[in-house]
Structure formats: C-alpha cells, structure tokens
Amino acid sequence: MKQHRVVVGLSGGVDSAVSALLLKEQGWDVVGVFMNNWEETDENGVCPAVDDWADVRAVCDKIDIPYYSVNFSKAYMEQVFELFLREYRAGRTPNPDVLCNREIKFKQFLELALQLEAEKMATGHFVRTDGDGHLLRGADPNKDQSYFLYMVKADQLKKAVFPVGGLTKAQVREIAERRGLPVSHKKDSTGVCFIGERNFKRFLQQYLPAQPGEMVTPEGQVVGRHDGLMYYTLGQRRGLGIGGCGDGRSWFVADKDLAANRLIVVQGEDHPMLYSREAICEDVTWVAEEPEQDRPFRCTCKYRYRQRDQEVEAIWRGGELHLTAMTPQRAVTPGQSAVLYQGERCLGGGIVREKR
C-alpha cells in the first residue's frame, strides 16, 4: 500500500522535529527540508543556519527520514527583507515573520513540496485548521501562532498540516525527550526571524544610515536626541536616554515627525497620545470568506502578538479595513498587523496604515 507523502519544513527546533516524528508515526512518507532563508553571519562571524542544519540532520537520522536543504535566501531578500527595509525607511515598524509565512513557507516551500509529489506540507506552527481551510488558534494559548499566519489563504491551508497545533509546548518537549530527539532541550528562538538574538540596532545600521535628530514634547520642547527614527517604536519606554525631569514619570515614544526628523515623546504611560480607538489597515487578507462590503461586524482583534483579544467593530470598505475598538488601545503601531478573530477562528487581518 502506497504511503501518502508529506514534506516537513524543519528549522532545527523542537516543534518542527516533533512534527516530523508524529507524522512518521502516523504512517506518512515523511521528507524533511531545511529552508536556508538567510546566509549572512552575525556580529561574531557566526552563521546560525550552520548549527540549525546540523540539528536537522541529527533529527532526521534519529527518526530515519530523508532530508534536504534548500536555499530560499534570494527570494527572501527580494520578497521579505527589501520590504522590511522599505517600511523602516517610511518610519513604520514591520513584521517580517508574517511576510515570511506568506512569501516563503506557504509559497516557495509549498511549491517545492508539490514538486516532490507530496500531498501535504507541514510545519511546526502552533495552529490548527479544519476541513474547509479555516485557520484556528493553537491549543496552547501561550504559543498560538495564528497571528503570524493570517496572510495564508484557505486553499494553501488545505494543503498543510500542523501536527503540534493541538498540543501544548510542554507536551511537545515531553514527546521529544521521550523519543530521544537531540533537540528536546534546545532553547526556543527569539527575535526577528532572520536576525535572531543579535543587537537589532547594530544590525539595522548595516543597511540603513542613521539620521540622528531631536526628541521633543508635543509642544516642541527639546528634551533629548534620538539616534534615528527607525530605531524606535510607538509606546517604547526603554532606551530613550532621558530622565523623568524630577517628577518620576517615564518618557514614552508617542509619534514620529518624519518631515522634521523628530521623535515625539510624552511623559506617563497614561498620556492620551499613547492611545487611540480607530485604525485603518491596508494589504488586507481574508483567510477564507470575505465579509460584506460596508457592513459593520463585531469581532476581536490583536494589534500585536501576545496581546489579549480586544473587542472591535470592523468594516471592510474599498480594499481597506476600518477598525473601531470598544476601549482605547495603547501604542497601535503603523506597519504592524491587526489580526481579527471570531472565537477560535482567525478571519484575517491587515497592516496598520494609520491610527486615530
């Protein structure tokens, strides 16, 4: 009896390793593929991909599956990283992980899986799907990654499986340890997908020239200097280098004046300029069905990963998504994703263009 083939994207981490293991135990013909999306070394001259590839080989040898390495770095540079830099030049704060899923994992990698005559592709994402291609939250609320997959369409999701989506992270590590996988205790990767844990400011300086300027209050009073608007995000408190002017209240980034190259800062985490109710989003993606045009509907929204769901009224109008939050939202940031939910189901979302 012929086995059904599945191609698993292996990162070198425990989640994708357990995904491959579970599929093998379920009787799939499993092929492991390591995606090399970034070839440059960090500030210490180390290429993290080298260690990750070694871990992938060790995992595949352990569970006895064939494996390959594929280089998507050119596509990543053109379709993800160049947009990432363009957004920072425009004073916005992009989320490259969302774009990586749309452009690399569920486009380039999915095409590769089909070329290898696979029926499905698989990743170690903590998400679930149903038979109709709807995207559902992962069972572990602390690890749910549906926020990062809202740009993936239903027809792509129907060709994907997520073996750890119904598990908790603790269960994944337990399975890895019990089966003797060499990455069972490997630390989770953090930070931006291609940057990792290196110094973000030094990394960005390699590609974008710094343009220092003034930090000012909304009234125009100069209170400090900034290193370049691209290094700051709305709501940021740490790293501003200005004291509390004697009253003990911290300073926060409230806005960016791109024309004057000024960073607008305010005192107090409850300052009105840090809050907004309305947001307009562009580059909108609906996972499955689009809502009716110009017809308001209630749902919940995450304006950033790990944020608790916020009640909103949404309107899909002329290619834009208009959101009105029921309570004021702190530090809604242009360039970040606003992702919509109805219960366990992720509806889709868009990139915040402006807030009001």
pLDDT tens track of the chain, all 356 residues? Answer: 568 999 999 999 999 999 999 999 999 999 999 999 887 655 555 566 788 999 999 999 999 999 999 999 999 999 999 999 999 999 899 999 999 999 999 999 999 999 999 999 999 999 999 988 999 999 999 999 999 999 999 999 999 999 999 999 999 999 999 999 999 999 887 656 656 666 778 888 888 888 999 999 999 999 999 999 999 999 999 989 886 555 678 999 999 999 999 999 999 999 999 999 999 999 999 999 999 999 999 999 999 999 999 999 999 999 999 999 999 999 999 999 999 999 999 999 999 999 99
**Annotated catalytic residue, options 193, 281, 301, 346:** 193
Does residue 159 share a domain with residue 21? yes
Does residue 120 share a domain with residue 89? yes
In the chain, beta strands by DSSP E: 5-10, 29-36, 67-71, 120-122, 127-129, 135-137, 160-161, 213-216, 222-226, 251-257, 262-267, 275-286, 297-302, 310-317, 320-330, 337-342, 345-355
**Annotated catalytic residue, options 60, 100, 281, 301:** 100
Instruction: Report the number of distinct structural domains present in the chain.
Output: 3
Specify the pairing of strand 275-286 against strand 320-330. Answer: antiparallel
Residue range(s) defining the domain that contains residue 296? 275-355
DSSP string of 73-125?
HHHHIIIIIHHHHHHHHTT----HHHHHIIIIIIIIHHHHHHHTT-SEEE---
Does residue 93 share a domain with residue 15? yes
Does residue 285 share a domain with residue 162? no
Does residue 310 share a domain with residue 174? no
Does residue 78 share a domain with residue 95? yes
Is 100 known to be catalytic? yes
Does residue 149 share a domain with residue 18? yes
Does residue 135 share a domain with residue 12? yes
For position 196, what pLDDT does the model report? 60
Does residue 297 share a domain with residue 226? no
